[in-house]
Structure 1
Amino acid sequence: MQSFIKKYSIFLMLYIVFQPVLDAVTGLMAQAHINITFGVLIRMAVMAVTVFYILIFLILNRDNKHGFRVIAYFVVLGIVSVISLIVNYKQKELFIPSLELTTLAKSVYYPIMLLGYFYAFEELAEDRIINRFFPKVIFYAVNIISIIMIIAHFTNTSFSSYAYYKLGESGWFYAANELSAIVSIAFPIMVWYALKKISNWSRIYYWLTIILAIYAALLIGTKGSLLAILFGTCMAILAAVIHFFQDSSRRKFNAGIVVLLGLTLGGVFAAYPAMAVSRTAELHSDMI
């Protein structure tokens, strides 16, 4: 069972990479008015295994007090879920079992997976696996988001971020605000990982992925993603300047990195007036 705990912990970390694909497939199927989508089915299967994983993790770690609390939480969650279904069945004139079960599953998915990731990261931290591979996982996940966004943009199949304004794009992802939040959280990690990998100019292709991520984030048209780009790039410039003074053996290369970051930040400001985020900001200001 300890082997299962380790392998499933690694699976949960790698599962992050596939989230953009599941979200894109779910978005396309939801746009086609399909209630139960492929992404939902996959997530529900993972959630079911994660519940089993959490219980096994607690049993093996023998933290009886903590384990009792978690098991009690699952029992209460199950009771509340059943009560919710019964109330909806009695109160709603039109009760669609598939839709109700899907909605309920989505509601319990997040607390269960959050708890699962807490234990998975705790397990992986012991061997420092999380330190070595988690930034790479985030890097690849954001790259997949960028590719999906750009393909949707140039094929004119992207969803509108703000349907009532027809401004901004969310690619094939269903919710622009959630997408913006994900990009905002992940972008600084992506920048850090790319800079760490650029040890010489032959690996500059890592920075090209950052440019694509910036372009994709600006397509969303939300202020959150724009602020994340500006904050992440400014922090990278500050870190690069500090590294320039600390590492005297590679002054020329480090100076080039600072210039590269400065050009990137300048490019964001130059592109801002032409991007959807500038128009949505103006509209929001007018509304206020």
Structure 2
Amino acid sequence: MRARFYTDWIERLFLLFILCQPFLDLLTSLAIRYSYPMFTIGILARTAFLLLALFYLFFAPKNRPTRFTKVLLLALTAILAVQITENASLKPVFSFPAEISYTLKILYFPLSLFAYRQLFLSDDTLAGTAEKYIAVSIALTGFIMILAGMSGSAYPSYEGGKAGHTGWFYAGNEIAALLAIGFPVVLLFALNRGFAWWPAVLAVLYSLFALGTKVGLGAIIITLSAGILSTGLILLRSREKRKAIVPLCVLIFLLVGSALYTPHAPVVQNVKIHMEWLGMDKQTQMEVETKVSQAQVDNLVYSGREKYLKNQANLLHQAPLNQKLFGMGYAGNYTEEPKLVEMDFHDLFFSLGLIGFSLYLALVGIACGWMVKSSIRWDSIKIQTIMKAVGVVLGFGIAYTAGHVLTAPGVSIYLAILLASFTKEAIPGRKESAP
């Protein structure tokens, strides 16, 4: 009974922790900007959550993960321990705090994913609660962005004259990623719950534009299009068609309005500035046959990440066999300033090596299998399934192209919860709890 009592409290904390995310991000930003401490409130809170997740996964009295999952998690942890030990003597520059910090960030997503899966297995109604808390958390982030923008105290997203702001938050890429992952959930609640949630949709829409990132613009187009598709399916299948007509018209209006505003949005200004830096604007305006090089296009799309990718690939090629198998750790074998590629799957491969990365992909593959198994059943293809799947696809897509998802605890927790929420839907006999 005592063990169950502790487990119940941990489960409640897991849910409340979702609502804490915007405030942790805000406090972390202010701490970094004004005092530069080694351990911020966000780091301490998320480390404590990680420890609770470990306890819940391996020592909770029921709903423990399968033996295969436990073996994969333990094997990944062991490889990271071996990697840190060996890299201490192999890397030209070795920073123990940086290596430990990055290791915890790597473990954060799989541990969160399976911890929330066990939570939803213990009570499948909790998945609906978690989804609602995600929507509230994302909405709060959006409203904070609006307050910062209106007050004129927002921090710029970029240096060098580019447009956009991050509100009072710190990392524009991370805020863009978490808003992109959570936007489909906010839109889902607006479609299901009606008028009260539409201001939240507008707040997130504003924030994604205000950041001035390509991720934000892509999330707007994909999410609104998915919402139109979902509502259209309801319109075709539902007998009460009037309930779907108004939301469909609102979504079309938002998509058209976004398209009309886009030429004036910060992201377009930033793309033009980037093109000027690369000299692409002059090349496209010249009448003579001057072709834009592939390297220039890659730099525009990936914002310089392709250079760091090439550098990390060269470092891995020169690395000894041990590092090829178990990874080069944080930022590879750097000799001066550490620099990640900022494309999560690539960074994870260089950091974990062939064996560690394979284990990581196996864990992610298991979770994606839940979503696919749930989504391919025709009776579960509802607006809830579609919009949550959009959030997951956006999360992994951003992780592959722009990064700051799988290795950013403040972002990966949203992706982990969404992916874990498909567990109950993939189990025959369990009823889906619509928000």
TM-score, normalised via structure 2 length: 0.56
Residues 268 and 281 (structure 1), Cα distance of their counterparts in 2 relative to 1, 3 Å cut: same
- 1:283 equivalent to 2:288? Answer no
The SS at the match of 2:164 is strand
- Which residue in the other structure is 2:115 paired with? 119
Q: Find the partner of 2:46 among 39, 43, 64.
A: 43
Residue 250 (structure 1) shift: 4.3
- Which residue in the other structure is 1:53 paired with? 56
Q: Are the equivalent residues in 2 in contact too, given 1:21–1:144 (CA < 8 A)?
A: no
| Aligned residue pairs, count | 275
| Distance in 2 (alpha carbons) for counterparts of 1:61 and 1:216 | 39
Runs of 4+ in 1 over 3 A off after TM superposition: 2-7, 57-84, 100-103
Residues 148 and 62 (structure 1), Cα distance of their counterparts in 2 relative to 1, 3 Å cut: closer
Residue 214 (structure 1) shift: 0.2
- Which residue in the other structure is 2:185 paired with? 189
- 1:152 equivalent to 2:148? Answer yes
The SS at the match of 2:149 is helix
Residue 106 (structure 1) shift: 4.7
- Which residue in the other structure is 1:268 paired with? 258
Partner AA of 1:279 in structure 2: Q
- Which residue in the other structure is 1:32 paired with? 34
Residue 68 (structure 1) shift: 5.0
Alignment of 1:130-149 (within 5 A): 130-149=126-145
| Distance in 2 (alpha carbons) for counterparts of 1:205 and 1:273 | 30
Stretch moving more, 49-58 or 35-44: 49-58
- Which residue in the other structure is 1:129 paired with? 125
- Which residue in the other structure is 2:226 paired with? 235
Residues 248 and 174 (structure 1), Cα distance of their counterparts in 2 relative to 1, 3 Å cut: same
| Distance in 2 (alpha carbons) for counterparts of 1:256 and 1:52 | 47
TM-score, normalised via structure 1 length: 0.81
Residues 138 and 181 (structure 1), Cα distance of their counterparts in 2 relative to 1, 3 Å cut: same
Q: Are the equivalent residues in 2 in contact too, given 1:9–1:124 (CA < 8 A)?
A: no
| Distance in 2 (alpha carbons) for counterparts of 1:224 and 1:258 | 24
> Hey, which of these two has a bigger chunk of helix by percent?
1
Q: Are the equivalent residues in 2 in contact too, given 1:12–1:117 (CA < 8 A)?
A: no
- 1:176 equivalent to 2:166? Answer no
| Distance in 1 (alpha carbons) for counterparts of 2:182 and 2:34 | 29
- Which residue in the other structure is 1:20 paired with? 22
Residues 114 and 17 (structure 1), Cα distance of their counterparts in 2 relative to 1, 3 Å cut: farther
The SS at the match of 1:162 is coil
Q: Deviations over 1:178-228 (max 9, x none)?
A: 221212221112211210112xxxxx1311210111011100001111111
Partner AA of 1:220 in structure 2: L
Percent of aligned pairs with the same residue? 22
Tell which has more relative contact order, 1 or 2 (C-alpha 8 A, sep 6+): 2
Partner AA of 1:229 in structure 2: I
Unpaired segments ≥5 residues, structure 1: 199-203
Residue 57 (structure 1) shift: 4.0
Partner AA of 1:22 in structure 2: L
Q: Are the equivalent residues in 2 in contact too, given 1:50–1:112 (CA < 8 A)?
A: no
- Which residue in the other structure is 1:201 paired with? none
| Distance in 2 (alpha carbons) for counterparts of 1:137 and 1:162 | 30
Q: Are the equivalent residues in 1 in contact too, given 2:145–2:167 (CA < 8 A)?
A: yes
Partner AA of 2:209 in structure 1: L
Q: Are the equivalent residues in 1 in contact too, given 2:65–2:118 (CA < 8 A)?
A: no
Q: Are the equivalent residues in 2 in contact too, given 1:168–1:276 (CA < 8 A)?
A: yes
Unpaired segments ≥5 residues, structure 2: 279-295, 297-435
Residues 184 and 191 (structure 1), Cα distance of their counterparts in 2 relative to 1, 3 Å cut: same
Residues 257 and 106 (structure 1), Cα distance of their counterparts in 2 relative to 1, 3 Å cut: same
Give the RMSD, CA atoms, in angstroms.
3.0
Residues 132 and 59 (structure 1), Cα distance of their counterparts in 2 relative to 1, 3 Å cut: closer
Residue 105 (structure 1) shift: 3.0
Residue 276 (structure 1) shift: 0.8
